[in-house]
């Protein structure tokens, strides 16, 4: 399972970087989103994946901190998801405005002449 998660993180990050290097605004926004998803999975995986671990250890339970999940990576990822969604919405609004004004989806505002 750890290998599958590592491959998923690598594929998301690789595709995100490849899309960031394209010269279209929509590809750039999609690349940023994929890169953000890859980083979120990486942060989540750094909290050590524990199968059948309790989400938290309360006072009156027999759980100890050793067999409970680490809440810090979960909180960081949740915050990053919200910030990433807001950033993507803002970038899409800006890209649509630039497309309407310049008539091009190219990052320079001009279509390349081949």
Q: Angle CA(35)–CA(39)–CA(45) in degrees, nearest 5?
A: 145
Looking at residue 102, its pLDDT comes to: 86
pLDDT at 28 over 90: yes
Are 111 and 99 spatial neighbours (Cβ–Cβ below 8 Å)? no
Domains of the chain, by residue range, sit at: 2-51+66-102
Within 10 A of 90 (CB to CB), how many other CB atoms are there? 11
Nearest Cα neighbor of 19 from 77, 90, 91, 78 is 91
Q: Model confidence at 106, in pLDDT bands (50, 70, 90)?
A: confident
Instruction: Identify the weakest region by mean pLDDT among 1-5, 45-49, 56-60, 81-85.
Output: 56-60
Looking at residue 91, its pLDDT comes to: 94
CATH 1.10.8 fits 2-51+66-102, yes or no: no
pLDDT at 18 over 60: yes
Looking at residue 92, its pLDDT comes to: 94
Per-residue pLDDT reduced to its tens digit, 29-70: 999 999 999 999 999 888 777 676 666 666 655 555 566 677
The residues, any chain, with a CB within 8 Å of residue 87's CB and separated by 6 or more, are 32, 36
Both tokens assigned to 42: 């990486």
Are 65 and 48 spatial neighbours (Cβ–Cβ below 8 Å)? no
Instruction: Identify the weakest region by mean pLDDT among 81-90, 91-100, 103-112.
Output: 103-112
- What average pLDDT does this structure show over 79-98? 94
């Amino acid at each position: 399972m750890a290998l599958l998660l590592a491959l998923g993180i690598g594929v998301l990050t690789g595709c995100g970087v490849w899309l960031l290097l394209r010269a279209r605004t929509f590809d750039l926004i999609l690349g940023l989103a994929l890169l953000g998803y890859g980083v979120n999975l990486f942060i989540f995986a750094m909290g050590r994946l524990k199968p059948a671990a309790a989400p938290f250890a309360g006072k009156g339970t027999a759980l100890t901190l050793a067999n409970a999940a680490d809440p810090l990576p979960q909180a960081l990822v949740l915050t990053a998801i919200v910030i990433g969604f807001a950033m993507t919405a803002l970038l899409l609004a800006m890209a649509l405005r630039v497309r309407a004004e310049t008539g091009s989806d190219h990052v320079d505002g001009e279509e390349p002449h081949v």
